[in-house]
Structure 1
Amino acid sequence: MGSIFNKPNLLSLYASALSGRRRVTHIRTHVLYDNSWEFITHLAGDGFVATKEEAVEDIRSLRFLYHTNEDGTEAPLIVESSLLGNAYVRTKPDCSRANNLLSLPRF
């Protein structure tokens, strides 16, 4: 029976990406239909602008750890898949709405 210490965990995976941290402070969105659906196309912060696709790949490959920190609480970004299988980024759910991506200013 394998030990829990032999398996990678989320904390150790994040720790390996800590050298490449990106704080997201702004987003760019696209609105579909009659303003009923908004989705993120770009993320930006100090010294970077990344497409949603670049951010998904960065997070999956552990190249960068993306996060928000709008209310003093750091919220890491995670990759999710839509019902159609399309990858997107969102903040890890917590009790704050201020650090949600769609609450950030647009650029």
Structure 2
Amino acid sequence: MMNLRMLLLIGCLVAPAHADDSQTNKVAAKIKAKIERAIRKHKKPLQGYCNYMIEMEHKGKYAYIKRVRHAGDKKICKVGSRGIKKGMRFKYHVPEKLIRIHVSE
């Protein structure tokens, strides 16, 4: 009985994990929109998923893309990476060094 209560308590206290930061971060939502637009405009329809880890560098009021890493289907990751470039800048309110984005088609 005690084990069941502990399990229930832990289950209630653990925060749910999100697939990406675009639900809570406006900069991540803008970056995800650029990636999805690049995938949507590709000649052939693509199937699969890609997880992007984007490292940001903050200077003043702007966040710059420093590095983009991806894991998933090779073709969809390559096409999506064309939508974002190293050095792109975004205005931010809450600084975050790493942004994770999940895209699936």
For normalisation by structure 2, the TM-score amounts to 0.25
Which structure has more RCO (C-alpha within 8 Å, separation ≥ 6)? 2
Bigger-Rg structure (1/2): 2
Q: Which structure has the highest strand share of the two?
A: 1
Q: Which structure has the highest helix share of the two?
A: 2
